[in-house]
């Protein structure tokens, strides 16, 4: 029996009638459940199911499947569950129900309109005990100030994606309790994607003293979080109030600091972060973002620059760069460890560049420099931005020739 691509199906056998019945599938040898987005179980009732001949079970892309059946199960011939028809990955933990709970990859959505929110508020461990959660979405959780404490993350080693949207009072995604404080790092071994949108009270992704390690993170998207200042911070809002506004203002923070490690990051979208002055801290190692391919930054009013020079010189994989509607005064800042001598910025893979609506933009880089864009095919810029990056009297455009004779666009800033 194969059931697939039924997006709204929540159960295979409806739970109507006498729960004490025994249901026998006497000749069924193979059961395949695939691409059933809403399936929560085979049968939600407490029936007894006998599958005397069942030898093969395939479960693929059924992210809401938490348990096979609430009743008694008999599958004497079954020895494993496959996670795809052509996937050699198999799993078996004693019985079909336990295997479903611990081996099948799951998506979990928690919202004001979902009963899981009440469970989460009462005891999150009841949900975290579900093994193999690969995606978690928190949507319109109007009563949560934070989602995790650092100790909870030990149960989420399989997590690949986290989405947080429209959680109006949330201040952090992860908060470190005082009794948990330690020098040990927090590591997300399989996390690939982070998406945070429209969280009006969010100040940080993580509040605590540990370093954050994201060895496989490829994509981060943060949009419309006007109070956010940094992904990681050890300063709480209460501390800020006690310290005073002047001291907090002088303690410049960046969205990415040296406590956040994202060596595999490829795509970054930052929008409507009206409290962020700096995206990349000047103390970051120069190769921290060497895998970055796409960067889009928009509507960040007090953002002063895009990169420190140390980072900009190592963006060798960057292909698509877009910055618009920001308070940026320079694209690249001097940062630390950069000598007062001509600097050559090479972007060997950038094919698309957009620089628009930057009213405060004064220059690409304040000191003498050369920019090389050998693969640039699409340039989008309004007049003022274009004059700042590709100026008139102070800028000379040159055509260098590579070994094969192909022209390379070079923008060189000339100072008297």
With a CB cutoff of 8 Å and minimum separation 6, the contacts of 215 are 187, 188, 189, 261, 263, 264
With a CB cutoff of 8 Å and minimum separation 6, the contacts of 18 are none
pLDDT at 405 over 60: no
Kindly state the tokens that stand for 351: 């094919």
Strands (E), 347-402: 352-356, 369-373, 378-381, 395-401
Burial class (CB in 10 A: 0-12, 13-18, 19+), 210: buried
Exposure string for 358-391, b = 16+ CB within 10 A, e = fewer: beebebbbbbebbbbbbebeeeebeeebeebbbb
What was the pLDDT predicted at 258? Answer: 85
Q: What angle do CA 219, 34, 65 make, to 5 degrees?
A: 75
pLDDT band at 311; cut points 50, 70, 90: very high
Q: What does the pLDDT average to over 161-185?
A: 82
pLDDT at 196 over 90: yes
pLDDT at 395 over 50: no
Kindly state the tokens that stand for 79: 């020895």
What was the pLDDT predicted at 335? Answer: 66
Q: What angle do CA 160, 165, 167 make, to 5 degrees?
A: 125
The dihedral region occupied by 299, where left means phi > 0, alpha psi between -120 and 50, and beta the remainder, is left
Kindly state the tokens that stand for 238: 């209460």
What was the pLDDT predicted at 416? Answer: 34
What tens digit of pLDDT does each residue of 316-353 get?
999 999 999 999 999 999 866 555 678 888 999 999 98
**What gap in Å lies between CA 18 and CA 359, rounded to an integer?**
71
Q: What angle do CA 150, 153, 157 make, to 5 degrees?
A: 155
Beta bridge partners of 355: 323, 381
pLDDT at 16 over 90: no
pLDDT at 14 over 90: no
What tens digit of pLDDT does each residue of 120-160 get?
888 887 777 766 788 899 999 999 999 988 888 877 888 99
pLDDT band at 363; cut points 50, 70, 90: confident
What was the pLDDT predicted at 179? Answer: 61
What tens digit of pLDDT does each residue of 222-260 get?
999 999 999 988 765 444 443 333 333 333 479 998 889
For 356, phi then psi, to 5°, come to -140, 150
Sort strands 148-149 and 133-139 into parallel, antiparallel or unpaired.
unpaired
What was the pLDDT predicted at 45? Answer: 80
What was the pLDDT predicted at 87? Answer: 66
DSSP string, 84-125: STT---EE--SSHHHHHHHHS-EEEEEETTSTHHHHHHH-TH
Mean predicted lDDT score pLDDT of the chain: 82
Residue that has been written with the tokens 């508020």 in this structure? 121
Q: How far is CA 345 from CA 52, 115, 128, 331, in A?
A: 69, 53, 47, 12
Residue 299 has a CB neighbour count (10 Å cut-off) of 17
What tens digit of pLDDT does each residue of 48-93 get?
889 999 999 998 888 888 788 888 889 999 988 888 777 667 888 8
Strands (E), 341-377: 343-346, 352-356, 369-373
């Amino acid at each position: 029996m194969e059931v697939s691509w039924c997006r709204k199906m929540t159960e295979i056998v409806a739970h109507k009638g006498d729960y004490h019945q025994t249901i026998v599938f006497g000749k069924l040898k193979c059961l395949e459940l695939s691409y059933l987005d809403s399936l929560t179980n085979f049968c939600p009732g407490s029936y007894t199911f006998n599958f005397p001949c069942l030898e093969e079970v395939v479960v693929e892309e059924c992210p809401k499947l938490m348990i096979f059946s609430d009743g008694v199960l008999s599958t004497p011939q079954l020895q494993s569950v496959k996670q795809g028809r052509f996937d050699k990955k198999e799993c078996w933990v004693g019985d079909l129900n336990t295997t479903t709970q611990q081996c099948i990859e799951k998506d979990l959505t928690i919202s004001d309109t979902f009963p899981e929110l009440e469970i989460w508020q009462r005891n999150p461990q009841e949900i975290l005990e579900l093994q193999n959660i690969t995606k978690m979405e928190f949507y319109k959780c109007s009563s949560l100030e934070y989602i995790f404490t650092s100790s909870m993350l030990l149960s989420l080693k399989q997590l690949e994606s986290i989405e947080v949207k429209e959680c109006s009072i949330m201040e952090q995604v992860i908060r470190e309790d005082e009794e948990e404080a330690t020098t040990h790092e927090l590591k997300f071994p399989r996390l690939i994607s982070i998406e945070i949108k429209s969280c009006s009270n969010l100040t940080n992704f993580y509040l605590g003293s540990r370093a954050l390690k994201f060895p496989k993170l490829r994509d981060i998207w943060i949009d419309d979080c006007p109070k956010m200042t940094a992904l990681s911070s050890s300063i709480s809002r209460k501390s800020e109030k006690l310290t005073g506004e002047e001291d907090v203002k002088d303690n410049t923070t960046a969205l990415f600091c040296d406590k956040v490690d994202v060596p595999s990051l490829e795509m970054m979208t930052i929008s409507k972060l009206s409290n962020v002055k700096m995206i990349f801290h000047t103390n970051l190692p120069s190769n921290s973002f060497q895998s970055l391919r796409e960067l889009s930054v928009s509507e960040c009013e007090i953002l002063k620059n895009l990169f420190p020079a140390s980072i900009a010189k190592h963006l060798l994989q960057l292909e698509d760069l877009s910055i618009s509607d920001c308070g940026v005064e320079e694209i690249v800042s001097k940062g630390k460890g950069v000598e007062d001598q001509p600097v050559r910025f090479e972007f060997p893979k950038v094919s698309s560049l957009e620089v628009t609506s930057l009213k405060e933009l004064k220059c690409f880089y304040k000191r003498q420099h050369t920019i090389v864009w050998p693969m640039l095919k699409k340039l989008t810029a309004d007049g003022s931005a274009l004059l700042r990056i590709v100026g008139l009297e102070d800028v000379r455009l040159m055509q260098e020739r590579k070994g094969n004779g192909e022209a390379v666009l070079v923008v060189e800033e000339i100072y008297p």
